[in-house]
């Protein structure tokens, strides 16, 4: 399995923007990445009346919708899936998986913190770094919010390259 790093933070702190920057930087370095986004409500991908919705309504326990440009896997669940279950669906073809959210998971985490959003999150297990717009009194490694290259270096040396060497 590829290494998984979760990007966590308060709403509107810049998690998606940070992930976009890391994806662009790591892709430029030749890495293949995948992402997982946690959503708290029902997703609007599979709408009533669409064929995939009809397949599930008729009794299929999972379905895949495929086109020349994308593939979507749909599996109704009765609980919030664990991050490792979701990452398992990707297989082995990626160098790293960046997750957005999943604060309670056991994977290493980078918190995105903005001063105006309030204090940093409390009791985050596995916090390895903080991307922030202010200096925080913590021993956790800190990066400026705009230091995408520094964060990419950190992920590359600490997670991607060790994983590649162990294969």
* pLDDT tens profile 74-84: 888 888 889 99
CA atoms within 13 A on the CB side of 28: 10
| In the block, residue with structure tokens 């959503």 | 39
pLDDT tens profile 117-151:
999 999 899 999 999 999 999 999 999 999 999 99
The residue written with tokens 């390259």 in the block is: 161
pLDDT above 70: residue 167? no
Q: What is the CA radius of gyration of the chain?
A: 18
Predicted confidence (pLDDT) at residue 165 exceeds the cutoff of 90: no
Counting residues of the chain whose pLDDT is more than 90, the rounded percentage is 63
Structure confidence at residue 71 (pLDDT): 83
The pTM of the full predicted model, rounded to 2 decimals, is 0.87
Residue 115, helix vs strand vs coil: helix
């Amino acid at each position: 399995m590829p290494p998984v790093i979760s990007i966590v933070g308060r709403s509107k702190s810049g998690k998606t923007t940070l992930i976009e920057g890391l994806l662009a930087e790591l892709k430029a370095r030749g890495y293949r990445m995948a992402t997982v986004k946690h959503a708290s409500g029902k997703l609007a991908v599979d709408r009533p009346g669409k064929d995939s919705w009809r397949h599930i309504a008729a009794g299929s326990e999972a379905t895949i919708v495929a086109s020349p440009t994308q593939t979507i896997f749909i599996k109704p669940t009765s609980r919030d899936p664990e991050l490792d279950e979701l990452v398992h669906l990707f297989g082995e073809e990626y160098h790293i998986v960046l997750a957005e959210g999943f604060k309670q998971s056991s994977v290493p985490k980078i918190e995105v913190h903005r001063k105006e959003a309030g204090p940093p999150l409390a009791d985050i297990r596995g916090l390895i770094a903080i991307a922030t717009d202010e200096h925080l009194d913590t021993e956790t490694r800190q990066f400026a919010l705009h230091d995408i290259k520094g964060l990419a270096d950190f992920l590359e040396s600490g997670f991607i390259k060790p994983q590649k060497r162990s294969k």
